[in-house]
Amino acid sequence: MTNYTNYTVSIHYDRRLYRHDIAGSIAHARMLGNQGIISEEDAGLIVDGLGKVRQEIQEDKFPWDETLEDLHMNIESRLHALIGPAAGRLHTGRSRNDQVALDMRLYTKDVLKETVQGLRATQGSLLALATRHQTVIMPGYTHMQRAQPVLFAHHLLAYFQMFQRDIDRFRDCYRRTDVLPLGSGALAGVAYPSDRDFLAQELGFREISANSMDAVSDRDFLLDYLAAAAICMMHFSRLSEEIIIWSSREFGFIRLSDEFTTGSSIMPQKRNPDFAELARGKTGRVYGDLMGLLTVMKGLPMTYNRDLQEDKEGFFDAVDTLLATFQVYPDMLQGLTLDEGRVASLAGESFMLATDVADYLVNKGMPFREAYGVVKELCRHCETQGKDLQDLTMEEYHRFSDSFDQDVYNINAESSAAARDNPGGTAPNRVAEELSRAKELLESTANDL
Ligand code: ARG
């Protein structure tokens, strides 16, 4: 006979919520006892029994039963086996609908703390790497074309900013997750004098939900997490892309440590940046997880519908992917070596200083548009002559403008970077300021959420 119940079973994935489910049930039992909804004695039996269930699960001795479908039924049934009929009183004034909403919120709050910590660890590694090479100048790119010299540290601090915005998004998500749904019942509230403020306090929620129908059917907090996770992975994917390019022989900017490269089975010279490639690739699945849940939600009428059970696997997948990425990235960043000589020599390449030559003419009084035209001609001349800007004689410079003086030869990568001395610019003193601001931020917020 076909086993149709396989279709509805969720125990193989919702069992990861067991700690949160039991914590919720313990708080609920205490509340029922305090309020005289069940006897103090039964409440005590239930609380002790749930402690035993938790221990069994932790010790891998719990008899999971697929025919009981989900985590909630497994735990309730086991509780019955352990303490007898008192177990039947636990589900008074509660439904699996507000129960599972509670579990997901408790779980998400825990995961958010880990997520933010993982982002901070990544930021810490970025700052350590930036500090190690604080004054190194590299080519900065637009359109993947060498554009202007920038500090390597400035480039890394761009990612610090992205991850800081991610942290803001996750903290914002925490605020909206931090709402207790328990006490909403199946959809309409409960017909007992349930003390929801006590429950919120016991379980560490900032507030209680205002509408029972919304509370049992709302999964916005999961979507908030998934949306923030998708953006966060996009940032990791961009950084991965740079690491992959930088570690190619063509660029030769960095070398990844051995743990974060793999060889090829047939090409002995290969050092493949697999970890960075996988982070880039895994970004796709997190986008998919977001799209999956958005699509699950879009047609649901009020209130609970079983479709909502489909919130879990994609969400857990996104969480696992993010947390795994945080396991890898901080160490991978710490372990990479920058070829300072190579990036510095490319940064001094003369065509990247063309803007500086135009700025030089502006400082001598020429309108910028005119200066731009002069330098464009100058570059063309260099190209036809096969010369760098620095190799031109004064006589050649004067063919293009009288404003050129001997000091045009002082233009180099260092002068170029130092000139960008405005807030947010790449001048070494600005970058040093940003670096210490970033370090202070990381230290002062280390214990926030
Ligand atoms: N396993 C279910 C879920 O994850 C629990 C809630 C079931 N509620 C119900 N009315 N069948 O959504």
Domain with residues 7-92, CATH architecture: Orthogonal Bundle (1.10)
265 pLDDT higher than 90: no
Any atom of ligand 1 within 6 Å of the Cβ of 325: no
pLDDT tens column, 146-163: 999 999 999 999 999 999
The pLDDT tens digits of the residues spanning 4-43 come to 878 999 999 999 999 999 999 999 999 999 999 999 999 9
Q: Reply yes or no on whether the pLDDT at 297 is more than 90.
A: yes
Q: Is 96 in the pocket of ligand 1 (CB under 6 A)?
A: yes
Which residues have CB under 8 Å from 120's CB, separation 6+?
167, 442, 445, 446
Confidence of residue 263 (pLDDT cuts 50, 70, 90): confident
308 lines ligand 1 (CB under 6 A): yes
Cα of 392 vs centre of ligand 1, distance in Å, is 77
- Which CATH fold would you assign to the domain 351-436? Ribonucleotide Reductase Protein R1; domain 1 (1.10.40)
Query: Annotated catalytic sites, by residue?
Result: 143, 264
Instruction: Give the closest residue (by CA) to ligand 1 atom 7.
Output: 96
Ligand 1 contact, 309 CB (< 6 A): yes
Mutation test residue for ligand 1: of 76, 91, 182, 306, the one with most atoms within 8 Å of CB: 306
pLDDT digits (tens, 9 = 90+) for 174-218: 999 999 999 999 999 999 999 999 999 999 999 999 999 999 999
Confidence of residue 98 (pLDDT cuts 50, 70, 90): very high
**CB-ligand 1 contact for 98 (6 Å cutoff):** no
**How is the chain split into domains, by residue range?**
7-92, 97-345, 351-436
pLDDT tops 90 at residue 360: yes
Task: Supply the residue whose CA is at minimum distance from atom 3 of ligand 1.
Answer: 309
CA angle 141, 144, 149 (to 5 degrees): 20
pTM to 2 decimals? 0.95
Give the CATH number of domain 97-345.
Answer: 1.20.200.10
